[in-house]
Amino acid sequence: MKVSIFSSKSYDEEFLRKFNAVFGHELVFIENRLTAETALFAEGSLAVCAFVNDVLDRSTLEKLAQGGCRFIALRCAGYNNVDLAAAKSLSLLVARVPAYSPYAVAEHAVALLLCLNRHIHKAYNRVREGNFSIDGLIGHDVHGKTIGVVGTGIIGSIFARIMRGFGCEVLAHDVNPNTECVQLGVRYVALDELFARSHAISLHCPLMPETHHLIGEKTFALMHDGIFIVNTSRGALINTEAAITAIKSGRLGGLALDVYEEESGLFFEDRSISIIQDDVFMRLTTFPNVLVTGHQAFFTHEAMENIAKTTLANLADFEAGRSCANLVK
């Protein structure tokens, strides 16, 4: 089956080609992001493979359907970038990779928290420049602190377990509390209590209308000064402008992001010799207590292997007319 793979990077090609030997799909690698304008590149492909910043809105989906596409294989877990109602009306099936390595993302969230707390990003640069002063690099013990986890699904529950291992009190909020977390000693509380009591908060819930700008002006008002926030989930969970105000006032003591609400025009490309036009993002990067990675939390060998295998298997299920367990309903 011919499959057009959008937003393709060398590492996608490497892993997908390696495991496709078993499946034998005809893979066409396209570097462009999938948008209504680029959808025509998929003409003649029965399936399309897309990633987190591809735009799968109604107009893109209509063009894909017109070009003969019937199946969309997301090579990611989140599907907030897909207009599912439009896909359904066009009889397009959408599948995803629900869990490729939850450890990769949870461990990256922990790494960001530790780096931010102990100013490792600053220390790294200082030492390289021969500056061995430790002035300003003081952190806190993580042990004994209260950590808030919003969303205790597959990734959030692993993050919570790691934090329990550090000797933290873990408060959580989820619309469906996780019994495994309760057994670990995690305490489920209302969001307001979580915001008010946590020294650091890590976000692991999906982006949906109810969670859009979950962290904003009103929620910062509930938190105590110096709180750390880590977001490895989706950028628009945080109102970035409100976060900038909270950093300037000292309410927000540290912000670590692997995702950013306007990341789609920035991330996954080398823009080091471009003039970046996003003033909000550039303001963020001027703060010493803001740490940004470019949506790499998932990026481990294990995760890439699982993404490739599951994506190719989802495509094979569709081709064979089998029911696919990873369809997005």
Catalytic residues: 234, 263, 295
Smaller CB distance to ligand NAI: residue 42 or 150?
A: 150
What is the three-class DSSP state of 242? helix
Distance between CA atoms of 218 and 240, rounded to whole angstroms?
A: 13
Closest separation in Å from C-beta 175 to ligand NAI: 4
The pair phi, psi for residue 25, each rounded to 5°, is -70, 155
Closest separation in Å from C-beta 322 to ligand NAI: 24
| 315 close to 47: Cβ distance less than 8 angstroms | yes
Smaller CB distance to ligand NAI: residue 105 or 242?
A: 105
Output the residue with the shortest Cβ distance to ligand NAI.
153
Angle between helices 301-320 and 10-23 (to 10 degrees): 50
Distance between CA atoms of 116 and 329, rounded to whole angstroms?
A: 38
Closest separation in Å from C-beta 181 to ligand NAI: 10
Closest separation in Å from C-beta 99 to ligand NAI: 6
Smaller CB distance to ligand NAI: residue 26 or 57?
A: 57
Closest by Cα among 73, 61, 81 to 97: 73
Task: Please report which residue ranges of the chain form alpha helices under DSSP H.
Answer: 10-23, 58-66, 84-89, 102-118, 120-128, 154-165, 179-183, 191-197, 217-222, 240-249, 279-284, 301-320
Smaller CB distance to ligand NAI: residue 39 or 94?
A: 94
Contacts with ligand NAI by CB under 6 A lie at: 77-78, 99, 102, 105, 150-156, 173-176, 204-206, 210-211, 232-234, 258-259, 295, 297-298
